[in-house]
């Protein structure tokens, strides 16, 4: 056994109704001019956050969009500077948190996150930025939120379809953490528990979207997935999701439900221990369980459904395979092309009998 366990500096506050503690959490960190960022659709939630901050709030920016386009990031940073911000609160999904991270990275102010989806971005030091159709990601401690407030009550309004694809994103984090080259005994336990919790909670959330227990369980699973994402290196699945997301402008979360069963089927033969752990967590053959779960939940299961065609697959396959992702089964561009072809329009070869 050989591993390196990393520190986890984020303070995590979890529980129904705990959004109301945001003011105290900000006060603990001491900033006096906090900018609140969110997506246009979550503006009311941003205003609620501002209400909890009182005189410490310098303004609400509701401009965040998916994949952190460079111009949105730069104008958010400029606005935060104009406002004299010395802290940032991101309220919403990965898009809002992505803008918060851009501000934290460029201005050095501390970031607090109040996630309302299952993206896991709130737990990581990973930033993203999209310029000319290419998404770049990197790690920087300045973007890791100092505090994360998880309040499952904020997630009950997340539409079922978005909940499913966003939880698919979380499941992808858990799965890739299981086979990551830098997985540790702790991250493996977390990842397996995360996958178990998510697969258990998702059908309950779909049946009763406002069920507080199901929403809490799903958010708990997403937190564990994000915690693993923060300390392990993601492999082929995430490389592909980012390459397709940036290159074809696909919705990030939907690409996960499409790709994950394919990547799992291709990878597991090379990682028997991760395969066994995932099989125990999911209660069956992993690729088949995932495929059936997403299909039953009505989530996208083909790239065609997301609006993709194969005209740029060769370029994208090259981009995904080179340099090689940190993946236990190293893919060639031809392997990736074949995987994309399987994921495009037909999942017949994936379909459980
Ligand atoms: P999102 O943040 O774009 O949210 C999806 C939609 O749901 C938005 O319109 C949003 O306004 C709305 N929404 C959010 N919460 C809601 C709620 N509770 N009720 C109703 N509507 C709600 O989607 P996402 O999947 O959370 O995030 C995707 C982005 O996050 C991508 O850009 C992705 O690359 C990034 N991401 C980054 C990391 C990282 O570690 N840096 C990890 C995962 C994802």
Question: Per-residue pLDDT tens for 153-169?
Answer: 999 999 999 999 999 99
Q: Average pLDDT for residues 73-80, to the nearest whole number?
A: 98
CA of 65 from ligand 1 middle (Å) equals 9
Confidence of residue 248 (pLDDT cuts 50, 70, 90): confident
Exposure class string for 98-136: b at 16+ Cβ within 10 A, else e: bbbbbbbbbbebbbbbbbbbbbbbbbbbbbbbbeeeebe
Residue 95 CA: nearest ligand 1 atom is 2
Confidence of residue 253 (pLDDT cuts 50, 70, 90): low
Question: Is it the case that residue 343 has pLDDT exceeding 50?
Answer: yes
CA of 1 from ligand 1 middle (Å) equals 37
Confidence of residue 137 (pLDDT cuts 50, 70, 90): confident
Distances (CA, A) of 340 to 234, 266, 314, 344: 19, 12, 9, 6
Query: Atom 30 in ligand 1: which residue has the minimum CA distance?
Result: 94
Residue 118 CA: nearest ligand 1 atom is 26
Pocket residues: Cβ below 6 A from ligand 1: 39, 41-42, 66-67, 92-96, 98, 116-117, 119-121, 124, 126, 128, 154-155, 157-158, 162, 166, 169, 252-253
User: Distance between CA atoms of 284 and 99, rounded to whole angstroms?
Assistant: 38
What pLDDT does residue 187 have? 97
What pLDDT does residue 250 have? 78
For a ligand 1 pocket test, name from 62, 121, 134, 143 the mutation site with the most ligand atoms within 8 angstroms of its C-beta: 121
For a ligand 1 pocket test, name from 93, 174, 209, 228 the mutation site with the most ligand atoms within 8 angstroms of its C-beta: 93
Question: Is it the case that residue 25 has pLDDT exceeding 50?
Answer: yes
**Is the omega angle on the peptide bond into residue 323 within 30 degrees of 0, that is, cis?**
yes
Q: Give burial (CB, 10 Å; 0-12/13-18/19+) of 18.
A: middle
Considering the chain, what percentage of its residues have pLDDT values greater than 70? 97
How much is the pTM?
A: 0.94
What pLDDT does residue 53 have? 98
Distances (CA, A) of 270 to 54, 236, 259, 327, 330: 54, 13, 18, 10, 10
All domains of the chain in start order, with CATH:
11-154 (3.40.50.1970), 160-345 (1.20.1090.10)
CA of 119 from ligand 1 middle (Å) equals 6
CA of 117 from ligand 1 middle (Å) equals 6
CA of 4 from ligand 1 middle (Å) equals 31
Dihedral Cα 173, 177, 178, 179, nearest 10 deg: 110
CA of 271 from ligand 1 middle (Å) equals 31
Could you tell me if 99 and 72 are in contact, meaning their C-beta atoms sit under 8 angstroms apart?
yes
Q: Give burial (CB, 10 Å; 0-12/13-18/19+) of 262.
A: buried
For a ligand 1 pocket test, name from 46, 68, 91, 92 the mutation site with the most ligand atoms within 8 angstroms of its C-beta: 92
CA of 2 from ligand 1 middle (Å) equals 35
Paired tokens of 289: 């369980």
């Amino acid at each position: 056994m050989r591993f390196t366990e990393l520190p986890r500096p984020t303070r995590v506050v979890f529980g129904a109704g705990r959004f109301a503690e945001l003011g105290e959490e900000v006060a603990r960190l001491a900033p006096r001019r906090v900018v609140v960022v969110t997506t246009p659709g979550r503006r009311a939630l941003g205003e609620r956050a501002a209400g909890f901050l009182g005189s410490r709030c310098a303004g609400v920016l509701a401009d965040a969009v998916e994949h952190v386009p460079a111009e949105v990031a730069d104008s958010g940073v400029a606005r935060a500077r104009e406002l004299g911000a010395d802290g940032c609160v991101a309220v919403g999904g990965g898009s809002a948190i992505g803008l918060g991270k851009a501000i934290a990275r460029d201005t050095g102010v501390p970031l607090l996150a109040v996630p309302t989806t299952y993206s896991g971005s709130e737990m990581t030091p990973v930033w993203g930025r999209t310029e000319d159709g290419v998404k770049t990601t990197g790690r920087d401690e300045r973007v890791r939120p100092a505090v994360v407030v998880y309040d499952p009550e904020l997630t009950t309004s997340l539409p079922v379809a978005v909940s499913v694809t966003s939880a698919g994103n979380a499941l992808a984090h858990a799965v890739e953490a299981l086979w990551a080259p830098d997985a540790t005994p702790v991250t493996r336990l977390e990842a397996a528990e995360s996958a178990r919790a998510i697969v258990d909670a998702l059908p309950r959330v779909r049946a009763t979207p406002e069920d507080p227990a199901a929403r809490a369980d799903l958010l708990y699973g997403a937190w564990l997935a994000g915690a693993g994402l923060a300390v392990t290196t993601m492999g082929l699945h995430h490389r592909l999701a980012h390459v397709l997301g940036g290159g074809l402008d696909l919705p990030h979360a939907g690409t996960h439900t499409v790709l994950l069963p394919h990547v799992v089927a291709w990878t597991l033969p090379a990682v028997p221990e991760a395969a066994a752990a995932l099989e125990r967590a999911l209660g069956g053959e992993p690729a088949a369980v995932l495929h059936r779960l997403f299909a039953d939940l009505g989530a996208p299961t083909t790239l065609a459904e997301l609006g993709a065609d194969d005209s740029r697959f060769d370029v994208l396959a090259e981009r995904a395979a080179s340099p090689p992702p940190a993946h236990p089964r190293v893919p060639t561009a031809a392997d990736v092309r074949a995987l994309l072809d399987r994921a495009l329009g037909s999942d017949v070869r994936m379909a459980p009998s």
